[in-house]
Amino acid sequence: MAPATTQGTLLKSTRESRGIPLRVVHEATKIPMDVLRAIEEGYTVRTLTPFYFKGFTKMYAEYLKINVQGIQTEERTQERPAVSVPVSKPRVAPLSPSPAETLDLEQWFAGIFTHRRKQQIAILAVASIGFFLLFKVITFFTHQRPKTVVKKEEKKKEKPAAAKSAPAASIASGKKPQESTSVVKASETAATAVKTSSKAAAPVAAPQASAPTAQLDREIMLTVRAKKDSWLRVEADGVTVFQSALNRGKSETWLAQNKIEISGKNMQQLEFELNGKLIGTLSRRDYKARKILITREGLSVIP
């Protein structure tokens, strides 16, 4: 009696009738060679589960395009010595190569850095360098401008003081009425300061007509004009008579018996007039003076 036809014998006979080598089936289906031999010979592999064995059999049949579902497999009661064949790990689907293995750096760089992209990178580099140079030129000229302005201001300050004294004298002669009113106001403030400082002084009798002129000859009369905003502290005979800001264009007059001391800020921007005589501003070497002392002999600077 002929042996019953099994799935393995059907697959093997079909393959051989078509002239297909077993290695071609292995390369096409990725089924291990030992598993293909086990399917055709009808024995099992210990390292392979029945589920994977059936799956590989179905893949083999689909490759040959035949239906083996109706054919019964050999009875497992037929004892046949199982052959232990070392097999590799079963693979249902072929493993695709990893991106790191298939990556070609030359092709990758060629795909990214195309001719057009290289042109764009070159244009961008030239534009950035141009902007950088333009920024440097602008900053260079902007830093150079203030120096020229400072030089011009220094030249203006170095003009001779004689040019200032002439208009100052004309202004003094043309504004005598205003100075007289400021002198009257200053005399009133000085009188109140003298009253507060020296209470022990003898009471003055009723002034006569010639008394004010004689008193003015004996006293020190100082007029200060501000060319810029300044802050001053003025002491007349040791008594503080002024301690405030003197704004630009304003003037103040103080009277004293012996001396007047002035200290503060921006004193180099002050113009002095002592007993009706214009002295002018401080010299350049006295710009850093901390205190100015005025007596009947004149003006002196305390560094």
C-beta separation of 236 from 190 below 8 A: yes
Q: Alpha-carbon distance 13 to 40, whole Å?
A: 9
Domain ranges of the chain: 7-95, 168-195+213-302
C-beta separation of 254 from 190 below 8 A: yes
pLDDT at 3: 40
Residues written for the chain:
303
Max mean pLDDT range (21-25, 95-99, 177-181, 196-200)? 21-25
Where do the H-state alpha helices sit in the chain?
Answer: 7-18, 22-29, 33-41, 50-64, 99-102, 105-112, 115-157, 162-174, 176-197, 211-218
Q: Alpha-carbon distance 230 to 244, whole Å?
A: 9
The gap from C-alpha 85 to its chain's centroid, in whole angstroms, comes to 73
- The stretch 168-193 carries a mean pLDDT of 43
Average pLDDT of the residues of the chain = 72
- The stretch 192-211 carries a mean pLDDT of 41
| Range with the poorest average pLDDT among 33-37, 171-175, 270-274, 288-292 | 171-175
Max mean pLDDT range (70-74, 93-97, 119-123)? 119-123
pLDDT band at 201 (very low <50, low <70, confident <90, very high): very low
Q: Alpha-carbon distance 15 to 7, whole Å?
A: 12
Q: pLDDT exceeding 90 applies to what percent of the chain?
A: 13
- The stretch 111-122 carries a mean pLDDT of 84
CATH (residue range 7-95): 1.10.260.40
More confident residue, 8 or 285: 8
pLDDT digits (tens, 9 = 90+) for 139-175: 888 876 555 544 555 655 565 544 454 444 444 444 4
pLDDT digits (tens, 9 = 90+) for 39-94: 888 888 888 888 988 898 999 889 988 887 766 544 343 434 444 444 555 555 55
pLDDT at 228: 83
Provide the 3-class DSSP secondary structure of residue 104. coil
Please give the angle made by the CA atoms of 232, 237 and 238, to the nearest 5 degrees. Answer: 65
Residue 232: closest CA among 297, 147, 290 = 290
SS3 content of the chain, % helix, strand, coil (to 5): 50, 15, 35
pLDDT at 17: 92
Using DSSP bridges, classify how beta strands 291-295 and 260-265 pair: parallel, antiparallel or unpaired: antiparallel
Q: pLDDT exceeding 70 applies to what percent of the chain?
A: 61
